Structure 1
């Protein structure tokens, strides 16, 4: 199982865009691959430790706990990273 974590906050335009990119990339994945992907959404508004670490970089995407990107999400780069992580 591969975990994709989206860290953001409510009413964050870039966070909404990042979620849309994630949704689009996952929708393109074969069903068997998508079933092996867990998407976790976390908010810096709910977790002081996340706020302290990421507040100036949201949205942040982690793949299996490792930083993939922040601020803007490239669909091509995300697709490639997920393919690599799921091998």
Structure 2
């Protein structure tokens, strides 16, 4: 089962269909910084946001432990370690 939902339509997603996913873990200061940017941007743009704690899934922890925080936009990896606000806004435009 995939962590991310795939779009079946060829049309670009509307803001309400867009989704940002943050892979994080407790105690990660970079995750805290990334979350702050993502919450601000998604809130302003009306985009949905979810956060996934990689420590709850052995496969995610194995794959992403050295990259977190990892940001996905519409199921595609967008950034890791840091979230650039301008780049995130551009991806969601």
Alignment-derived partner of residue 46 in structure 1: 56
Q: Which structure has the higher relative contact order (CA within 8 Å, separation 6+)?
A: 1
- 1:6-57 alpha-carbon deviations (Å, 9 max, x no partner): 000001000000000112212432xxxx0xx221110111011111111000
Q: How many residue pairs get matched?
A: 77
| Structure-1-length-normalised TM-score | 0.83
Structure ranking higher in helix proportion:
1
Unaligned stretches of 5+ in structure 2? 1-16
| Structure-2-length-normalised TM-score | 0.78
- 1:59-86 alpha-carbon deviations (Å, 9 max, x no partner): 0000111000000110000000011xxx
2:86 to 65, 68, 76: 76
Unaligned stretches of 5+ in structure 1? none
